[in-house]
Chains A and B, each alone.
Chain A
Amino acid sequence: MKKSVFLGTLSLTALVAGFASAATLDDVKARGTLNCGVSTGVNGFSAPDSNGVWQGFDVAICRAVAAAVLGDPMKVNFITTTGQTRFSALASGEIDMLARNTTWTFSRDTDLKFTFAGVNYYDGQGFMVKKELGVSSAKELDGATVCIQTGTTTELNLADYFKSNNMKYEPVPIETNAEAQQQYLAGACDVYTTDASGLAATRATFADAENHIVLPEIISKEPLGPLVRQGDDQWADIARWTLNALIAAEEYGVTSANIEELAKGTENPEINRLLGTEGELGAMIGLDKDWAKRAIKAGGNYGEIFAATIGEATPIGLARGLNAQWTQGGLMYSPPFR
């Protein structure tokens, strides 16, 4: 607050002040902290722990970028955004980047004028049913009652899927995930449908998780990723290549445990370029040569982050699936560091 109050009021009276659209990188460096937009709470992706420190898969991306740019993964202001406020917060410059399980779509990329830095999680809409129903495939759901969040793309996907498979369903409209869990458990609907990661997180909270199964069918593409404003290509590059560095690090076996060792120089020139012992990649995006090393050290490589926040060892217990490295049959594929 403080002076900003007066400045703000002043600028209210004089709306004509010029557009000072300096490079985001310079703004962030001058401020000394990264303003990162996250959700107000999605299990495993972003949530404050009991000490008020934000944790999660999306949060880790923010921390990696902060580490790359500012040298300290804790120098992040987490700004909570809702589904409605997230895009305007980014467009107006209130936040420098948005890491809030946001689906990369055509219109968001073009019409809303954002640049997606890549995909950090490939999600898709799935179904959860009670085991006692004896259903093993979504194709057997003809005539089922389905709990569905209104006004979301999942609602449209569901209608499309049932129509194309010539099946009928009875929607039970609900407002929030919390309400959905209660309705589903109370037996108001046979099926609960939302993103598969959300289903897994929801199922993990049930007292009798073993009595519920997530069906194998995924009926939509939901590539989730961090995004920045269009028009500042350098900043977009930093976000994109920080994410790529995390993915590449996993591919090359660079972990937070062995990174110091590898940073002394290895036989593999790609690792050397990534960690800054060879070449000047950092300078090309306006950072020093250790940028990727710091980003990886912040929370580990992509695989380590995944395992620590949403992986199979956590209560959420998501398998890598599509999010495995391309060498493991997944879609995680970083362009070369050259």
Chain B
Amino acid sequence: MAVTFVRKEMLPQQPPPSSQVGPVRWVRENLLSSPLNIFLTLAAIYVIYVIIDHVGPWLMNSVWNAGSLAECRQILAGESGACFAVINDRWRQLLYGFYPSDMYWRPNLAMVLLLVAVAPVLFDKLPRKMIWFSAVYPFIAFWLLWGGSLWLPLAVIAGFAIGYAVFRGLSPMTNGALAVIAGALAALIWWFVAAAAVSDVLQSVIPLGIAAVPSREFGGFMLSIIIGVTGIALSLPLGIMLALGRKSDMPLIKMICVGFIEFIRGVPLITLLFTASLLLNYFLPPGTNFDIILRVIIMVTLFAAAYMAEVIRGGLAALPRGQYEAADALGLDYWKAQRLIIMPQALKISIPGIVNTFIGLFKDTTLVVFIGLLDPIGLSNAIRADSNWNGIYWELFIFIGACFFIFCFGMSRYSMYLERRLKTDHR
């Protein structure tokens, strides 16, 4: 008679072998899975060790309080160490340039308001009414940064109101395009003929304003951010228009757009900046004071817009033909089709490329150093020209690099968030 064994209860679960769990498994799988992998791991450890061995003591010995490089060296007494005292001494200059120090609150406030203004654009969970603040923000920022009469930005806003009023007044009588053109003309006439005079008169009647700060006192990261943010904000709509123009059936518009894009893409940014700073001086009548920062912003925007147009054209080309036909079949006109069907999809596809262009533009702002504007890189040069800090390199560059990294990394993370949120395919 055979003894049968029937297990009545489950065996208690054993813990997995130690080589198959936790960090050990991770290390085995990722670092030591093959001879080549082992070799690469060892090599990487060695490289990291060398870097830490060289940079570690240098960073650990950082001197934060000293009046000059010589003092730093005295404090270090021959040991290797970073002299971050230069940042301590000059961080205001690196951030604000030569902006009057008692008015730092103005760029600070402008920066805080910028965050408020971009929030509704970036995140759709916020109340939609906030977008009105975003629309007014450019004028607030301009007034805060450059100061002067409050009436000037108000007069410029009035131009939009006048243009809109003319458009609304005419649109029942004539067709839409004519009303748009008339509205734009009215606004332009107001801006170029009346706005400055009216704001002067108003200023003399009711003086409202804060101390004006001339452009040449702008510098440092403030300058980079002004040029970068303005360029980013303007180049996207301009790029969309150019991309649509390039795909347009109207030969004149198509030719203009293609010519513009190819010309701008064909010349380096530095050439455009030199044009802005040097050639325009010869063309303009002597004595006219066409603001240098404005010139740079225009050039940077045009440059980025040309690249943006091509990025968006890529997105348009990736859309299946059926989408265009579907829009037509629904009876949508051109603009409605673009706004409701084509652009939302094309822009979604283009997000990585668009953000790429944004980041490139922001970093390209450092090129203004070549036309004598003191951006952070230019200021690092100027700071080195002071006898106290001559001979200091890494500390300044590390600081500047870290600041740029924060902005660029932020943009890149946001674009990934946006891609995840807009993901509609079901992979």
| Mutual binders A and B | yes
Question: Is B372 close to A, CB under 8 A?
Answer: yes
Determine the chain B residues whose CB is within 8 A of the CB of A316 once the complex forms: 387
| Minimum Cβ distance to chain A for residue B401 (Å) | 15
Q: Are B286 and A178 in contact (CB under 8 A)?
A: no
Q: What CA separation (Å) do A39 and B386 show in the bound complex? A: 13
Q: What CA separation (Å) do A205 and B89 show in the bound complex? A: 18
| Minimum Cβ distance to chain A for residue B19 (Å) | 48
| Minimum Cβ distance to chain A for residue B195 (Å) | 7
Q: What CA separation (Å) do A91 and B283 show in the bound complex? A: 12
Give the interface segment out of A13-21, A269-277, A280-288. Answer: A13-21
Determine the chain A residues whose CB is within 8 A of the CB of B98 once the complex forms: 48, 52
| Chain B, Cβ-Cβ closest to A207 | B73
Q: What CA separation (Å) do A186 and B387 show in the bound complex? A: 22
Q: Are B286 and A84 in contact (CB under 8 A)?
A: no
Interface residue range, chain B: 35 or more
Give the interface segment out of A3-11, A65-73, A138-146, A160-168. Answer: A3-11
Determine the chain B residues whose CB is within 8 A of the CB of A182 once the complex forms: 393
Contact among B283, B289, B370, B381 with A41 in the assembled complex (CB-CB below 8 Å): B381
Give the interface segment out of B27-35, B249-257, B273-281, B316-324. Answer: B273-281
Q: Are A4 and B290 in contact (CB under 8 A)?
A: yes
Question: Is A2 close to B, CB under 8 A?
Answer: yes
The contact string, 1 if C-beta is below 8 Å from chain B, for chain A 1-44, is 11111111111100101111100000100000000000111111
| Chain B, Cβ-Cβ closest to A201 | B390
Q: Are A43 and B195 in contact (CB under 8 A)?
A: no
Question: Is B163 close to A, CB under 8 A?
Answer: no
Determine the chain B residues whose CB is within 8 A of the CB of A3 once the complex forms: 152, 196, 200
- Residue among B149, B277, B286 with the highest chain A CB neighbour number at 10 A: B286
Q: Are B285 and A15 in contact (CB under 8 A)?
A: yes
Q: Are B387 and A44 in contact (CB under 8 A)?
A: yes
Tell me whether A1 and B93 are in contact in the complex, defined as CB-CB below 8 angstroms, given that A20-B285, A44-B387 are known contacts: no
| Chain B, Cβ-Cβ closest to A50 | B89
Q: What CA separation (Å) do A49 and B369 show in the bound complex? A: 19
Q: Are B192 and A9 in contact (CB under 8 A)?
A: yes
Q: Are A2 and B383 in contact (CB under 8 A)?
A: no
Question: Is A331 close to B, CB under 8 A?
Answer: no
Q: What CA separation (Å) do A91 and B281 show in the bound complex? A: 9
| Minimum Cβ distance to chain B for residue A185 (Å) | 9
Total count of chain A residues near the partner, CB < 8 A: 61
Contact among A6, A41, A92, A207 with B282 in the assembled complex (CB-CB below 8 Å): A92
Question: Is B90 close to A, CB under 8 A?
Answer: yes
Q: Are B281 and A50 in contact (CB under 8 A)?
A: no
| Chain B, Cβ-Cβ closest to A21 | B286
Q: What CA separation (Å) do A92 and B101 show in the bound complex? A: 31
Contact among B200, B212, B284 with A12 in the assembled complex (CB-CB below 8 Å): B284
Determine the chain B residues whose CB is within 8 A of the CB of A91 once the complex forms: 281-282
Instruction: Apart from A17-B288, A27-B287, list 18 A-B contacts with CB within 8 A.
Output: A1-B148, A1-B291, A1-B293, A2-B148, A5-B294, A8-B288, A8-B294, A11-B285, A12-B283, A20-B285, A40-B372, A43-B387, A48-B386, A52-B93, A82-B372, A89-B372, A92-B286, A315-B70
Q: What CA separation (Å) do A202 and B393 show in the bound complex? A: 13
Determine the chain A residues whose CB is within 8 A of the CB of B288 once the complex forms: 4, 7-8, 11, 17
Question: Is A137 close to B, CB under 8 A?
Answer: no
Determine the chain A residues whose CB is within 8 A of the CB of B93 once the complex forms: 48, 50, 52
Q: Are B385 and A41 in contact (CB under 8 A)?
A: yes
The contact string, 1 if C-beta is below 8 Å from chain A, for chain B 122-143, is 0000000000000000000010
Q: Are B384 and A43 in contact (CB under 8 A)?
A: yes
Question: Is B382 close to A, CB under 8 A?
Answer: yes
Q: Are A178 and B192 in contact (CB under 8 A)?
A: no
Q: What CA separation (Å) do A85 and B191 show in the bound complex? A: 32
Contact among B142, B192, B381, B393 with A40 in the assembled complex (CB-CB below 8 Å): B381
Determine the chain B residues whose CB is within 8 A of the CB of A41 once the complex forms: 381-386
Q: What CA separation (Å) do A47 and B386 show in the bound complex? A: 6
| Minimum Cβ distance to chain A for residue B280 (Å) | 8
The contact string, 1 if C-beta is below 8 Å from chain B, for chain A 179-195, is 00110000000000000
Tell me whether A5 and B291 are in contact in the complex, defined as CB-CB below 8 angstroms, given that A48-B93, A81-B372 are known contacts: yes
Determine the chain A residues whose CB is within 8 A of the CB of B241 once the complex forms: none
Pairs A–B under 8 Å by Cβ, sample size 23 = A1-B146, A1-B148, A4-B290, A6-B195, A7-B196, A8-B294, A10-B192, A18-B285, A39-B385, A40-B382, A46-B385, A47-B383, A47-B387, A50-B386, A52-B93, A77-B216, A82-B369, A82-B370, A89-B372, A92-B282, A178-B393, A201-B387, A205-B390
